[in-house]
Amino acid sequence: MIRFTFAVFLLALGYLVCVEGNPCCSEPCQNRGVCTAMGTDKYECDCTRTGFFGPNCTTPEFLTWVKVSLKPSPNAVHYILTHFKGFWNIINNISFLRDAIMRYVLTSRSHLIDSPPTFNVDYGYKSWEAYSNLSYYTRSLPPVPEDCPTPMGVEGKKELPDAKVLAEKLLMRRQFIPDPQGTSLMFAFFAQHFTHQFFKSDMKRGPAFIQAKGHGVDLNHIYGETLDRQHKLRLFKDGKLKYQVLEGEIYPPTVKEVGVEMHYPPHVPDSHRFAVGHEAFGLVPGLMMYATIWLREHNRVCDVLKEVHPDWDDERLFQTTRLILIGETIKIVIEDYVQHLSGYNFKLKFDPELLFNQRFQYQNRISSEFNTLYHWHPLMPDSFHIEEKDYSYKQFVFNTSVVTEHGINNLVESFTKQIAGRVRAVCTNCCRKHSD
């Protein structure tokens, strides 16, 4: 009996020891309340502007209660938006309704994001450093405090599994599953090309740091991240970018010609080392295809602008064209790319004026979580089918000849025909609910 009591005592002690440490490790604050430890056994939740109160920010304020009760669930909203095609065809045709819904889409989405940005890998509380140091990816969720019983806080194993094992178990796709929405490789490479302007980790500092200090759609993947790189890529005539002509077609210039750093393995000959804004775009012919398309587009817009403004100098033509390409990119992203991803029958609209009478903030900060979730490698097929040829990965990567041999038109045609994989891993049961 005594021994039993002693054992219980030890267990209780163990429990106390376990609970001691940082009480925020169990993430007691709900509804985006912020936890602050008060010594080793107490904590406080700051529920400011969460719409909730109480020690754990769990009790809704009256207005929150009304809103929560009246608001349709996200699943219901999604269902409505992805069904009733006839209804949406009418809405899409009535411009003030379409505008009002699009305005709501933009403002409600932006309210989901903390702004100014909050945490990063080194700061689980708000600080000037976390706000102002643009070298960090921000974090939507604070990092788990250092002094927690387990790496995940209080749950899970004492030690995290090896990252390699985790990646293989969770992320690696074994079997190609064609995307049920019919997504093409043209879309997949667009995703990769577009997102690499802001998912650009600084491997010297580590994966918590970002090289793309613009944190958004600044087209640094076309123009270079630094002014030095931009200048090397520019022709300094009529606002244009440097280019070369191969068999009558326009392609990016070579590394040798412009002298910017690009990542190519030693076996790639000088004549095939194309130079573009992003150092790594020689890796995938799909990326080099888009880089070539945007290079051509930049120089085309320069011609149009010069025609309208013959008095503008090179600098003004270049800068204005860059702004125009940013606008074109965002239009494509909203009206084609996000439209496809969403599956909505509501027709999304790119129109900056929708927000001119709204309170809306335009700052952006890229978060680590966003980057992690955007590793859409399962979109990639087992091999790449271009015209009559089939390329294995070995033949495809770092092979810019694929771009010049086939030419942009044929690449676009082939990549548009080939179906991409679905992103979500398919486990036997756990994903079934979400896929409906």
d(CA 228, CA 116): 30
Are 135 and 201 a contacting pair, CB within 8 Å?
no
Task: Figure out which of the listed residues 40, 135, 410, 416 binds ligand NAG, where binding follows CB under 6 A.
Answer: 135
Closer Cβ to ligand HEM, 221 or 322, answer by number: 221
Mapping DSSP onto H, E and C, the string for 21-73 reads: CCHHHHCCCCCCCEEEEECCCEEEEECCCCCEECCCCCEECHHHHHHHHHCCC
Contacts of 378 (CB under 8 A, 6+ apart): 173, 177, 421, 422, 423, 424, 425
Are 354 and 99 a contacting pair, CB within 8 Å?
yes
Which residue among 196, 221, 278, 298 is the active-site one? Answer: 196
137 included as an active-site residue: no
340 included as an active-site residue: no
Q: Which residue bears the tokens 């002014």?
A: 227
Closer Cβ to ligand NAG, 220 or 399, answer by number: 399
Closer Cβ to ligand NAG, 108 or 135, answer by number: 135
Could you say whether residue 181 binds ligand NAG (CB under 6 A)?
no
Closer Cβ to ligand NAG, 110 or 418, answer by number: 418
Min CB(269)–ligand HEM separation in Å: 20
d(CA 349, CA 347): 6
By CB under 6 A, which span of 35-43, 60-68, 198-206, 249-257 interacts with ligand HEM? 198-206
Could you say whether residue 93 binds ligand NAG (CB under 6 A)?
yes
Could you say whether residue 284 binds ligand HEM (CB under 6 A)?
yes
Tokens at 406, concatenated: 């086939």
377 is in an annotated binding site: yes
Q: What is the DSSP letter of 420?
A: P
User: Within 319-378, which residues bind ligand HEM (CB under 6 A)?
Assistant: 371, 374-377
| H helix or E strand, kind and range, residue 114 | none
d(CA 239, CA 319): 8
What does 107 interact with, of ligand NAG, ligand HEM, none (CB < 5 to 8 A by kind)?
none
Task: Figure out which of the listed residues 292, 329, 399, 414 binds ligand NAG, where binding follows CB under 6 A.
Answer: 399
Residue type, 270: D
Q: Which residue bears the tokens 């667009």?
A: 190
Min CB(389)–ligand NAG separation in Å: 6
Where on the chain is the footprint of ligand NAG (CB under 6 A)?
26, 28, 54-56, 58, 89, 92-93, 133, 135, 395, 399, 401-402, 405
Residues annotated as catalytic (active site), given as ranges: 196, 374
**Which residues belong to the annotated binding site?**
109, 377
Where on the chain is the footprint of ligand HEM (CB under 6 A)?
188, 191-192, 195, 199-201, 283-284, 371, 374-377, 379-380, 397
